[in-house]
Amino acid sequence: MRMLDRKLVRDLRHIWVQCLAIALVLGCGIMVLILSTGTQRSLEATRKSYYEENRFADVFAPLTRAPRGLLTEIARIDGVARVEGRVVFTAMIDLEGRPEPASAIVISLPPDGRPVLNVPALRRGRMPRPNHPDEVAISEAFAEANRLRPGDRFQAVLNGQMRPLVIAGVVISPEFIYTVGSGAFEPDDENFGLFWMNETPAAAAMDLSGAFNDLTLTLAHGADERAVIAGVDRLLAPYGGTGAYGRDRQPSNVFIEGELKQLGTMATVLPPIFLLVSAVLVNMVLGRLVSLDRAQIGLFKALGYRSGTIAAHYTKMTLGIGLVGVLLGWGFGWWLGDELTEIYTRYFRFPSLHYRPGTAPIAISGVLGMAAAVLGGLRAVRAATALSPAAAMSPAAPPVYRRGWLDRLGGLAHLRQTTMMILRSLTRWPGRAAVTLFGVSGSVTVLVASFFTFDAIDLILEDLFERANRQDATVTLARPVNERAQIDALALPGVLVAEGIYAAPVRLVNGTRSRLVSLQGREPDARLSRLLDADGAAVQVPQTGLALAAGLAEALGAQPGDRLRVELLSAPRGTWEIPVTAVIRQSLGQDAYMNREAFFRLIGQAPQVNMIHLAINHNDLAALQAKVQETPAIARFALWSDIRRQFEDTLDESLVTMTVIFASLGMLITIGVVYNAARIHLAERAYELVSLRVLGFRRGEVAYVLVAEQMLLTLIAVPLGWLAGYGFCTLMAEGFSTEVVSIPVLVTRRTYATAALIVILTALASVLIVRRRLDRVDIVSALKQKE
């Protein structure tokens, strides 16, 4: 080994803790990059091949009823590749040993049993055989949650008719990779399932023989989706089409898109912070090493070593730090990516989902990591090569201090001299102080952003379950009925309050922007399910005009006062111009609201309801559920306590894991920055500090100079981090919001305080570790070293 390399190894051994701290920060950046882009690519690639192999449709269109002959006409629309008409409806499932019924979406299989589009993938058993009307294939998630196997039998209420069914097979479908029942926000595999059954019995149950009520199609290469959708809508309008939509509105696909977007946000927002901080740390530590090596550098040059050789020597050190960081990042990134993918497999039903990051993210992250380390060291390396041998071998000039504003401040405030030492050190080396400020505030930023997730979720939950939806249960009716039904509902066991709602599919159009949403007609004095204003206070649905969820208003570019074209996609169909009169706060789902009476007055019909919110006496729940099960008019019965539990279970698992990871990353930055800053401080000023010990200063008093400087910087960094953190949360809320979920930007005091506390304690622990070194410095030998 060459002598310089031997020196390198020994130097590294001497400052390995500092180097490791930097490598860890760097590794975090690499890890997040590998984790997010790797998972994103795995998810994307798996989805792509699944969609292709199982022929996931491009356009979806629900309708009331159309004759099968219409399908040939639709196939003739320019740009349509393949068309399939199905019978799709909701059924209630009665499983043995379960008090409340589950609900399911039933999807018909063509007579030959082979769907052209959205082909289910068989997991167990076999597909229902043609001519076996009682056979069904059920979705895997529902089968697993209810421990159902091929051969098991159960009862289902199909359009009010009780029917015995037998499970032929268990399947998954590209249409339902992520399944959420109507009215729910999170997957509820136990209470919501999917059934595929032969067309003949399905059509017979719904009185749709020779007809279909659901259309899916694929587009020809290069086809214009908007034009096709317009064509489909035109053809389906007479048959109760509620508006065709593309993959960008298909619920399962939208959810996966959202997840991909979030991974993308994570990959672009977080790693730069870590890479930047590690570059700055390399600069700091290597700069220190070069100034320590000053005499040696002079000697090497005097001995005839070229500047390039010396530059290479120090660059190797940065490469070493970079390499360790990159390897750590790859390792942990791969491991976490595997774990995250594992979590995804529980929510996303793919034929197989494996973490396959691909070579590009690995290569790119490797290059970025090494570049951060090398670029970080550049200034120090340049300083090493710029030294002339003669100047290098003479000791560096002592630091020059000047009087200034600080002295007036010190005089006025009667500061102790040890405090003055701290303040002068900060003003003498502002760059160094800036590094610590930058790093620690970065740490606070990451923590605020991590805990903000909880704030957002809390607010969403509070809005959803405490402010907006105070009902205990919601009943979805099989078809709209006269509004008197809400009075009838009061007769059900245990029902205390009943509030009817009419939800209709509409397309809202504002200029060139349009959205397919649910328009809810509500009573103005509704007490169970309420609308919220921007501050979260309950507001009445306006007497006239539309109230839009803020996210929807933004998507449409609409403000109060604007008039929207409202296309009603259910009977009696028609188009009206309605002004927007209010924008409300709604985090989950993006709906439009109207006064029910005003709505029906507008469309010229007698008021109806198709959903009823209930406040119930929980003692009568069992009786209520039994009654619901035998009432054919009720398509679905959902308990809000179940919805909430499901919601919280899902969140707990993934969110807590991610938050713990990011909080640890945030803490690592503080450790890396404060530990290194304190080590350098100690190394440079050990002699000065020991002199204080000679003068009779106690250990604590001397340590004050070391500890207080770092803690002062930490305290200054905290509010800076709060500010940056808030900005960061805004970015995150934007990045994580999807068409379905709008993340509120609200950072609580609890988040700011927790982030600050963690950073302050972490900084204190880091500097106290260095303080132990100070305590161990032997006075006599330290004084000798100077000589």
Partner 1 sequence: MSTAPSQHPAILRTEEVTKTYRSGAVAVHALRGVDFALYPHEVVALLGASGSGKSTLLNILGGLDCPTSGRIFFRDRELTDLGDDDLTEFRRAHVGFVFQFYNLVPSLTARENVALVTEVAKNPMRPEEALEQVGLSGRMDHFPSELSGGEQQRVSIARAIAKRPEILLCDEPTGALDSKTGITVLDALIEVNRNLGTATALITHNAEIRRIADRVVYMADGRITHVEENAARVPPSEVSW
Nearer to partner 1 among residue 425 and residue 608 (C-beta)? 425
Nearer to partner 1 among residue 225 and residue 701 (C-beta)? 701
Q: What distances in angstroms separate CA 640 from CA 355, 577, 645, one per listed residue?
A: 35, 35, 8
Residue-wise burial string across 17-48, b where 16 or more C-beta atoms lie within 10 A, e elsewhere: ebbbbbbbbbbbbbbbbbbbbbbbbbbeebbe
Residues 218, 249: Cα–Cα separation, whole Å: 15
Contact residue for partner 1 among 47, 55, 613, 693 (CB under 8 A): 693
Nearer to partner 1 among residue 250 and residue 425 (C-beta)? 425
Q: How far is the CB of 413 from partner 1 (least distance, A)?
A: 14
Binding to partner 1 in span 427-486, by CB under 8 A? 428
Nearer to partner 1 among residue 190 and residue 688 (C-beta)? 688
Phi and psi, residue 224, nearest 5°: -90, 110
- Per the structure block, which two tokens stand in for 724? 């940056």
Q: How far is the CB of 277 from partner 1 (least distance, A)?
A: 27
Q: How far is the CB of 394 from partner 1 (least distance, A)?
A: 16
The one-letter amino acid code at 574 reads G
Segment contacting partner 1 (CB under 8 A): 207-215, 622-630, 665-673, 686-694? 686-694
Residues 128, 113: Cα–Cα separation, whole Å: 7
Residues 41, 61: Cα–Cα separation, whole Å: 30
356-395 mask for partner 1 (x: CB under 8 A)? Answer: ----------------------------------------
Q: How far is the CB of 299 from partner 1 (least distance, A)?
A: 23
Does residue number 424 form part of the binding site for partner 1 (CB under 8 A)? yes
Segment contacting partner 1 (CB under 8 A): 50-58, 135-143, 248-256, 416-424? 416-424
Contact residue for partner 1 among 76, 129, 224, 401 (CB under 8 A): 401
Does residue number 396 form part of the binding site for partner 1 (CB under 8 A)? no
Residues 6+ apart with CB under 8 A from 105: 88, 89, 90, 91, 181, 193, 194, 195
Does residue number 604 form part of the binding site for partner 1 (CB under 8 A)? no
Residues 608, 596: Cα–Cα separation, whole Å: 8
The one-letter amino acid code at 755 reads A
**Cβ proximity of 334 and 355 under 8 Å:** yes
Does residue number 69 form part of the binding site for partner 1 (CB under 8 A)? no
Locate all alpha helices (DSSP H) within 211-306, ordered by sequence: 225-236, 251-292, 294-302
Contact residue for partner 1 among 155, 182, 345, 691 (CB under 8 A): 691
E strand segments, 15-70: 59-67
Q: How far is the CB of 425 from partner 1 (least distance, A)?
A: 6
Segment contacting partner 1 (CB under 8 A): 191-199, 316-324, 498-506, 690-698? 690-698
Nearer to partner 1 among residue 447 and residue 702 (C-beta)? 702
Q: How far is the CB of 786 from partner 1 (least distance, A)?
A: 6
The one-letter amino acid code at 207 reads D
Q: How many residues bind partner 1 (CB under 8 A)?
A: 31
Nearer to partner 1 among residue 114 and residue 698 (C-beta)? 698
Residues 6+ apart with CB under 8 A from 359: none
Nearer to partner 1 among residue 134 and residue 701 (C-beta)? 701
Nearer to partner 1 among residue 723 and residue 779 (C-beta)? 779
Contact residue for partner 1 among 131, 161, 388, 417 (CB under 8 A): 417
Residue 158 CA to its chain's centroid (Å)? 38
Contact residue for partner 1 among 696, 749, 772, 776 (CB under 8 A): 696
Segment contacting partner 1 (CB under 8 A): 61-69, 119-127, 153-161, 398-406? 398-406
Contact residue for partner 1 among 655, 697, 708, 731 (CB under 8 A): 697
Q: How far is the CB of 416 from partner 1 (least distance, A)?
A: 6
**Cβ proximity of 58 and 246 under 8 Å:** yes
Does residue number 786 form part of the binding site for partner 1 (CB under 8 A)? yes
3-state secondary structure of 43: helix
3-state secondary structure of 747: coil
Does residue number 694 form part of the binding site for partner 1 (CB under 8 A)? yes
**Cβ proximity of 658 and 439 under 8 Å:** no
Torsion sign over Cα 223, 229, 235, 236: positive
Locate all alpha helices (DSSP H) within 387-501, ordered by sequence: 389-393, 405-413, 417-428, 430-461, 485-489
**Cβ proximity of 84 and 23 under 8 Å:** no
Nearer to partner 1 among residue 200 and residue 418 (C-beta)? 418
Does residue number 412 form part of the binding site for partner 1 (CB under 8 A)? no
Does residue number 416 form part of the binding site for partner 1 (CB under 8 A)? yes
Under DSSP, the state recorded for 160 is T
Nearer to partner 1 among residue 151 and residue 395 (C-beta)? 395
Torsion sign over Cα 360, 366, 367, 372: positive
Instruction: Give, to the nearest 10 degrees, the angle between helix 251-292 and helix 430-461.
Output: 160
Nearer to partner 1 among residue 507 and residue 685 (C-beta)? 685
Q: How far is the CB of 2 from partner 1 (least distance, A)?
A: 26
Contact residue for partner 1 among 204, 249, 701, 708 (CB under 8 A): 701
Beta bridge partners of 91: 104
Exposed/middle/buried for residue 131 (C-beta within 10 Å: 0-12, 13-18, 19+): exposed
Does residue number 299 form part of the binding site for partner 1 (CB under 8 A)? no
Residues recorded for the chain: 787
**Cβ proximity of 461 and 644 under 8 Å:** yes
Nearer to partner 1 among residue 402 and residue 749 (C-beta)? 402
Contact residue for partner 1 among 2, 10, 402, 776 (CB under 8 A): 402
Residues 280, 31: Cα–Cα separation, whole Å: 19
10 Å Cβ neighbour count for 136?
A: 27
Does residue number 698 form part of the binding site for partner 1 (CB under 8 A)? yes
Nearer to partner 1 among residue 491 and residue 780 (C-beta)? 780
Binding to partner 1 in span 755-784, by CB under 8 A? 779-780, 783
Does residue number 577 form part of the binding site for partner 1 (CB under 8 A)? no
3-state secondary structure of 497: strand
Nearer to partner 1 among residue 316 and residue 428 (C-beta)? 428
Nearer to partner 1 among residue 16 and residue 687 (C-beta)? 687
Q: How far is the CB of 417 from partner 1 (least distance, A)?
A: 4
Does residue number 1 form part of the binding site for partner 1 (CB under 8 A)? no
**Cβ proximity of 592 and 546 under 8 Å:** yes
3-state secondary structure of 163: strand
Segment contacting partner 1 (CB under 8 A): 46-54, 245-253, 359-367, 687-695? 687-695
3-state secondary structure of 523: coil
Locate all alpha helices (DSSP H) within 54-138, ordered by sequence: 70-75
Does residue number 408 form part of the binding site for partner 1 (CB under 8 A)? no
Does residue number 413 form part of the binding site for partner 1 (CB under 8 A)? no
Nearer to partner 1 among residue 147 and residue 402 (C-beta)? 402
Residues 6+ apart with CB under 8 A from 68: 85, 210, 211, 212
Kindly list the residues in this chain that would bind partner 1 in the complex (CB under 8 A). Answer: 398-403, 416-418, 420-421, 424-425, 428, 687-688, 691-699, 701, 779-780, 783, 786-787
